[in-house]
Amino acid sequence: MDLDRPASTGGARRGGSDIPGGRRKQRVSMADVAKLAGVSSQTVSRVANGHAGVIGTTREQVLAAMRELGYRPNSAARALRYGRFNTIGVILFSLASTGNSRTVEAIATHAAAEGYAITLIPLDMPTQDNVLGAFTRMGELAVDAVIVILEVHLLDAGTVTLPPGVHVVVVDSDAGDRYSVVDTDQAEGTRLAVRHLLDLGHRTVWHVTGPRTSFASQRRAQAWRLELERDGRPIPPPLHGDWSAESGYAAGLALADRPDCTAVFAANDQMALGLLRAFHERGRAVPAEISVVGFDDIPDAACFVPPLTTVHQDFAEVGRRCVEGALRQIREGGSGAPGTDLVPTRLVTRASTAPPNS
Amino acid sequence: MDLDRPASTGGARRGGSDIPGGRRKQRVSMADVAKLAGVSSQTVSRVANGHAGVIGTTREQVLAAMRELGYRPNSAARALRYGRFNTIGVILFSLASTGNSRTVEAIATHAAAEGYAITLIPLDMPTQDNVLGAFTRMGELAVDAVIVILEVHLLDAGTVTLPPGVHVVVVDSDAGDRYSVVDTDQAEGTRLAVRHLLDLGHRTVWHVTGPRTSFASQRRAQAWRLELERDGRPIPPPLHGDWSAESGYAAGLALADRPDCTAVFAANDQMALGLLRAFHERGRAVPAEISVVGFDDIPDAACFVPPLTTVHQDFAEVGRRCVEGALRQIREGGSGAPGTDLVPTRLVTRASTAPPNS
DNA sequence: CCCCGAAATGTTCACGTAAACATTTCGTCG
DNA sequence: CGACGAAATGTTTACGTGAACATTTCGGGG
Structure confidence at residue A304 (pLDDT): 97
CA atoms B337, B143, B319, B225: torsion sign: negative
Residue A309 near residue A352, CB atoms below 8 Å: yes
| CB-CB under 8 Å, A105 with B2 | no
Structure confidence at residue B230 (pLDDT): 97
Which member of B73, B119, B140 has the closest CB to residue A118? Answer: B119
Q: Which residues pair with B342 in a beta bridge?
A: B183
Domains and CATH numbers, chain B: 24-73 (1.10.260.40), 84-183+316-342 (3.40.50.2300), 186-313 (3.40.50.2300)
Write the burial class of residue B176 (CB in 10 Å: 0-12 exposed, 13-18 middle, 19+ buried): middle
CA distance A144 to chain B (A): 12
Which member of B4, B80, B121 has the closest CB to residue A77? Answer: B80
Better-scored residue on pLDDT, A143 or B294: B294
Is cis: bond before A20, omega within 30 of 0?
Answer: no
Phi, psi angle pair for A33, to nearest 5°: -60, -45
B165 pLDDT tier (thresholds 50, 70, 90): low
Q: Coil, strand or helix: which one is B308?
A: coil
Q: What percent of chain A has pLDDT over 90?
A: 58
Q: 3-state SS of A31-50?
A: HHHHHHHCCCHHHHHHHHCC
pLDDT digits (tens, 9 = 90+) for A287-304: 999 999 999 999 999 999
Structure confidence at residue A278 (pLDDT): 98
CA–CA–CA angle B282, B283, B284 (5° rounding): 95
Contacts of B323 (CB under 8 A, 6+ apart): B88, B107, B110, B111, B114, B116, B147
Residue B119 near residue B86, CB atoms below 8 Å: no
Sort out which chain B residues have CB atoms less than 8 A from A252's CB and list them: none
Instruction: Choose among A124, A111, A148, A98: nearest CA to A294.
Output: A98
How far does the CA of A38 sit from the C1' of D5, in Å? 27
Residue range A104-132: average pLDDT?
84
A250 vs A243: CA distance, rounded Å: 12
Q: Coil, strand or helix: which one is B101?
A: helix
- Any atom of strand C under 7 A from CB of B55? yes
Instruction: Choose among B214, B256, B205, B257: nearest CA to B233.
Output: B205
Contacts of B350 (CB under 8 A, 6+ apart): B301, B302, B306, B307, B308, B309, B310
The nucleotide minimizing the C1' distance to residue A37's CA is D9
B329 vs A109: CA distance, rounded Å: 28
Q: What percent of chain B has pLDDT over 90?
A: 58
Sort out which chain A residues have CB atoms less than 8 A from B130's CB and list them: none
CA–CA–CA angle A293, A295, A301 (5° rounding): 75
Q: Which of A86, A94, A95, A331 to mutate to test the interface with B (most CBs of B within 10 A)?
A: A95
Residue range B225-235: average pLDDT?
97
CA distance B38 to chain A (A): 23
Structure confidence at residue A201 (pLDDT): 97
Residue B304 near residue B144, CB atoms below 8 Å: no
Sort out which chain A residues have CB atoms less than 8 A from B104's CB and list them: 95, 120
A198 vs A126: CA distance, rounded Å: 37
Sort out which chain A residues have CB atoms less than 8 A from B23's CB and list them: 164
DSSP state of A23: -
Structure confidence at residue B26 (pLDDT): 61
Please, which positions of strand C sit below 7 A from a protein CB? Answer: 7-12, 14-20
Residue range B317-338: average pLDDT?
85
A9 pLDDT tier (thresholds 50, 70, 90): very low
* Beta strands A309-312 and A346-348, pairing class: antiparallel
Structure confidence at residue A3 (pLDDT): 31
The B145-149 sheet, strands edge to edge: A339-343, A180-184, A167-171, A145-149, A87-92, A117-122, B117-122, B87-92, B145-149, B167-171, B180-184, B339-343
The B206-209 sheet, strands edge to edge: B239-240, B206-209, B263-266, B291-296, B309-312, B346-348
B159: Cα within 13 Å, side-chain hemisphere: 9
Q: Which of A300, A304, A323, A352 to mutate to test the interface with B (most CBs of B within 10 A)?
A: A300
How far does the CA of B149 sit from the C1' of D15, in Å? 36
Which member of B24, B83, B246 has the closest CB to residue A303? Answer: B246
B6 pLDDT tier (thresholds 50, 70, 90): very low
Amino acid code (one letter) for A21: G
A297 vs A98: CA distance, rounded Å: 10
Most confidently predicted of B158-167, B227-236, B331-340: B227-236
A133 vs A112: CA distance, rounded Å: 27
Residue A321 near residue A180, CB atoms below 8 Å: no
Q: Which residues pair with A264 in a beta bridge?
A: A206, A292
The nucleotide minimizing the C1' distance to residue A11's CA is D19
A109-118, A283-292, B17-26, B178-187: the lowest-pLDDT one: B17-26
Contacts of B195 (CB under 8 A, 6+ apart): B227
Whether residue B11 is predicted with pLDDT greater than 70 in this model: the reply is no
Whether residue B212 is predicted with pLDDT greater than 70 in this model: the reply is yes
Instruction: Choose among A140, A18, A106, A5: nearest CA to A69.
Output: A18
Structure confidence at residue B180 (pLDDT): 87
pLDDT digits (tens, 9 = 90+) for A36-84: 999 999 999 999 988 888 888 999 999 999 999 888 888 899 999 988 8
Sort out which chain B residues have CB atoms less than 8 A from A303's CB and list them: 245-246, 248-249, 270, 273-274, 277
A178 vs A168: CA distance, rounded Å: 10
Better-scored residue on pLDDT, A291 or B132: A291
Whether residue B304 is predicted with pLDDT greater than 70 in this model: the reply is yes
| Region of A45 on the Ramachandran plot (φ > 0 left; ψ -120 to 50 alpha; else beta) | alpha
The A263-266 sheet, strands edge to edge: A239-240, A206-209, A263-266, A291-296, A309-312, A346-348
| CB-CB under 8 Å, A112 with B122 | yes
Q: At what angle do helices B56-69 and B41-48 cross, to 10 degrees?
A: 90
Structure confidence at residue B170 (pLDDT): 81
Sort out which chain B residues have CB atoms less than 8 A from A119's CB and list them: 87, 117-120
A102-106, A287-291, B99-103, B170-174: the lowest-pLDDT one: B170-174
Residue range B288-293: average pLDDT?
97
Sort out which chain B residues have CB atoms less than 8 A from A124's CB and list them: 109, 112
Whether residue B14 is predicted with pLDDT greater than 60 in this model: the reply is no
B325 vs B340: CA distance, rounded Å: 11
How far does the CA of B15 sit from the C1' of C20, in Å? 22
B71: Cα within 13 Å, side-chain hemisphere: 23
How far does the CA of B40 sit from the C1' of D26, in Å? 20
A24 pLDDT tier (thresholds 50, 70, 90): very low
Residues lining strand D, beta carbon within 7 angstroms: A 5, 9-10, 38-43, 46, 52-55, 57-59, 77, 80-81, 83; B 13, 27, 29-31, 41-42, 45, 48-49, 51, 73-74, 77-78, 80-82
Q: Which residue of B has its CA nearest to A160?
A: B70
Q: What is the pTM of this model?
A: 0.86
B44 vs A82: CA distance, rounded Å: 23
Sort out which chain B residues have CB atoms less than 8 A from A72's CB and list them: 139-140, 163
A267 vs A248: CA distance, rounded Å: 10
Structure confidence at residue B162 (pLDDT): 58
Q: A322-333 burial, b if ≥16 CB within 10 A, otherwise e?
A: bbebbbbbbeee
The nucleotide minimizing the C1' distance to residue A80's CA is D15
DSSP state of B203: S
DSSP state of A201: T
Helices (H), chain A: 30-37, 41-48, 56-69, 75-82, 98-113, 128-140, 186-199, 215-230, 245-256, 269-281, 315-332
Largest Cα separation within chain A, whole Å, is 87
How far does the CA of B14 sit from the C1' of D17, in Å? 22
| CB-CB under 8 Å, A245 with B302 | yes
The nucleotide minimizing the C1' distance to residue B33's CA is D16
How far does the CA of A8 sit from the C1' of C17, in Å? 26
How far does the CA of A31 sit from the C1' of D12, in Å? 15
How far does the CA of A39 sit from the C1' of C23, in Å? 15
| Protein residue closest to C18, using CA and C1' | A45
Better-scored residue on pLDDT, B9 or B218: B218
Residue range A86-115: average pLDDT?
89
CA distance A185 to chain B (A): 22
Residue range B165-179: average pLDDT?
76
3-state helix, strand, coil in chain A (%, to 5): 45, 15, 40
Structure confidence at residue A336 (pLDDT): 64
